[in-house]
Structure 1
């Protein structure tokens, strides 16, 4: 029996443990697609954290397949020096390296790829890349299909020459191979259209040809097994394609789900918190019983207990953690040592921001995408520090500075979490429907991390009413959040606890951007000034989070990281 930390194999490649980092577009490449110092730093943080297989983001096998600006390049030998150096750096940290061969097909635009997009059929595609535009791709001829298959083979060979151990054939999420598989996007009448066997032919031919032409490299077939819309591919068909891919020579099957046309939204591809934990795991279990190659499961599997159970039971062979290693790049190292991890909220701030044009970032871990900025972190040392307020900002700050300091966290409430304990009762957080368990798990793990690092907790204690509590501290960090105006401080929490926030009519109103902006910003006042006055001569005071400026969670947590590690709560705002 395997466990999360035993080595595994994907074809000829040995993977040091069972954790895979899947492909996630970073926008850290330069405009041409070359590897940058920022992209290298991002991947190395996850390799140093112990991830077994680092999958470098989607890279198109031909230029027409580029689906985003600042997408990593693989379609030409000129990208090899940067990729070779990146692989060598990943290997030096002990991780195996993979790159995803992904072709946008009809899900790109001429302004992105520089050519007329191609697809199995000339079906209109709504394409969101900073702005929404519907395009009609050019239907591929038989000759053009052959040209693209050959481009995949050449890209795989290029990856091998760069030193990658594995390539991943991207047949998921509405990109080119998925477009061939999906009935709504493939209306061909030749040998690549019609029956499931014909629609699967393109992706299976690519897999066979890579295996034949590029020996010595592992091949993963990443597949959407359920499109989640009526005209899409159902699981019964996805299951068959997974079996066929293994028979065609794939060394592992990476089981995903969702499509850009999924209902109720495309967010199902990257399951938001409302979908719960492991929503695709049952798909992977069923496929595992039918194939003779390793199966990789993905989708909200960041709970260490769930990840362990899935592998230890033999249900799957590998666990893919994407957003979880954005939230905590040291997930593997910490879980192996029995330490708590910073939990992903599945709020999709990362992917939503990236699609809007930003670098890939994480709400609960502002270091993600800024690894070089934080490389010179200078947290305080040898100080006695009082943190006032045990919401996300205060807990984050305490956790970051606990080692090397004596930290006491004061919270007037009987438990930590602050407004995050209510966030799951609102209809939306960021842009996704909420699930309270996601917030509670994050708070519990963060509090446990503080305790294990030696932070002292003083719940039910408020320095505002007993200033002597702050005597003897070198530094006072105010993370007391914001308070509602107009007497709403007691009314809003009470209504949320009654479930009013999810009543149909109220949920729609509270989901409106203008109403949410009012509740986050204009209806609340920062509380930092009140507590700043408590400091005595010689005590350094820092105000972070909503106590500094009423707003949303992302800037609040960013200010905590900036204050703790960069010495200035406003540092990240200044760097934007």
Structure 2
């Protein structure tokens, strides 16, 4: 089979990509040198763009900061590594919705192992609603304007695009599960969209020519999965508003604030076991926009991915676990070596499992073993 669509270039929201495969934003939990090398290998493997996950919007965010000399140098080095391999790079602008005061309150329990990390996740999720609902408007505006400043710094560091993280704080403001405000930021879908819209507008004002991807988190009901984000029936409100604000493409996936096994589903997941498990959300978004849409969700098979792209169901395909399992997936596919691909088994043992065990993201294929 020829993989002409996978290998074809595309203008993704105004950014020219050499093919249709994107590395999805991923928290790696690795040392800096290990992380740089893993990103280099993925870029060298042929994908068109790498999205760097969780780039903090404000000065006090977790992880390397664009606002510090050391953090800025970290991101500039990443951009240099990726560009050297003829690959584009995108910064996922991230604002946590974790209540810092609540985190401090739970810290003694974590340190004494009375509260596990999984328990902590549940406890922090319980605090999201009160935190979002009670946030002063002056703090909201400080955060939304911060997206613009962070985008400026990302451009200066060498990023080709930014992605507004539509989960986390944007997703929590969007969600009626968490957002119980009665002012202009809560209530109707239009009002709940306002926070995300203002984040996008701030980016567009600050860097008018910079393409803006939006990670659109969709919440599913019947059965219920995800607590943040947008219901399918609310997409008719959110998608046009985000597009008018300046979004140039959509990266569509399941909303978070649920079990990690739902947003990173294994092969035996009761709802999302199939390849392309989140693509039905792309179908729903497609009804309301002609902008490029990137799909994600257990994508591993070149034949399957080619068909989704060739049929126009999605414009780009994002992968995380598959490109960790085999960074050369794209090159092998385009050079007729699909039989040599290390196919992701979606076992979640060393990738998601590595993060949960604080060992970093790895794969069962590393070292040549399936152990």
Q: CA deviation at 1:140?
A: 1.5
TM-score of the pair, normalised by structure 1: 0.56
Q: Does the 8 Å CA contact 1:130/1:357 hold for their aligned counterparts? A: no
Partner SS state of residue 142, structure 2: helix
CA distance in 1, matches of 2:299, 2:100: 30
Q: Which residue of 2 aligns with 1:310?
A: 308
How far off is 1:323 after superposition? 0.7
Asked if the contact 1:167–1:220 (Cα under 8 Å) also holds between the matched residues in 2, the reply is: yes
Q: How far 1:108 sits from its partner (Å)?
A: 6.6
Q: C-alpha distance in 2, partners of 1:187/1:52?
A: 40
Match of 2:112? none
Residues matched between the structures, number: 342
Shift of 1:107: 6.8
RMSD in angstroms over aligned alpha carbons? 2.5
Aligned with 2:30 (options 28, 31, 34): 28
Deviations 1:103-153 (A, max 9, x none): 2212777668xx9xxxxxxxxxxx974762624364321000011011111
1:557 aligns with 2:370: yes
Q: CA deviation at 1:102?
A: 1.5
- After superposition, the Cα gap between the structure-2 partners of 1:27 and 1:75, relative to the gap in structure 1 and judged at 3 Å, is farther
Say whether 1:40 aligns with 2:36. yes
Query: 2: distance between equivalents of 1:43 and 1:259?
Result: 24
Give yes or no for contact 2:294–2:318 (8 Å, CA) kept in 1.
Answer: yes
Q: Which residue of 1 aligns with 2:154?
A: 159
- The 3 A distance-change label for structure 1 pair 347 and 260 is farther
1:537 maps to none
Residue 82 of structure 2: which of 87, 90, 96 is its match?
A: 90
Q: Find 1:60's aligned residue among 52, 56, 63.
A: 56
1:205 corresponds to which residue? 198
Task: Name the CA shift for 1:260/1:227 in 2 (closer, same or farther; >3 Å).
Answer: farther
Cα deviations by residue, 1:450-509 (Å, 9 ceiling, x for unpaired): xxxxxxxxxxxxxxxxxxxxxxxxxxxxxxxxxxxxxxxxxxxxxxxxxxxxxxxxxxxx
Residue pair 1:256, 1:299 contacting (<8 A) in 2 also? yes
Whether the 8 Å contact between 1:90 and 1:97 is mirrored in structure 2 is yes
Contact 2:232 2:284 (8 Å CA) reproduced: no
Q: Secondary structure at the match of 1:209?
A: helix
Partner SS, residue 225 of structure 1: strand
Give the equivalent residue in structure 1 for 2:111. Answer: none
Gapped runs of 5+ residues in structure 2? 108-114
* 2-structure distance, mates of 1:85, 1:129: 31
1:147 maps to 2:149 = no
CA drift at 1:62: 1.9
Matched, 1:3 2:1: no
In 1, the alpha carbon distance for the partners of 2:314 and 2:116 equals 33
* Greater C-alpha radius of gyration: 1
* 2:91 corresponds to: 99
Which residue of structure 1 aligns with residue 361 of structure 2? 360
Structure 2 distance, partners of 1:216, 1:142, is 29
SS at structure 2 position matched to 1:216: coil
Give the deviation of 1:13 after TM superposition: 2.0
Output aligned runs, 1:14-413, within 5 Å. Answer: 14-28=16-30, 36-66=32-62, 71-106=63-98, 129=117, 132=120, 134-135=123-124, 136=127, 138=131, 139-172=134-167, 175-228=168-221, 229=224, 233-238=230-235, 240-261=237-258, 265-274=259-268, 275-339=273-337, 340=339, 341-349=341-349, 350-363=351-364, 365-366=365-366, 396=368
> Could you tell me whether the CA contact under 8 Å between 2:58 and 2:146 is conserved in 1?
yes
TM-score (norm 2): 0.85
SS of the equivalent of 2:170 reads: helix
* 1:224–1:238 contact (8 Å) kept in structure 2: no
Q: Which deviations, in whole Å up to 9, do the C-alpha atoms of 1:163-201 show, x marking residues without a partner?
A: 1001111112xx111111111111111100111111111
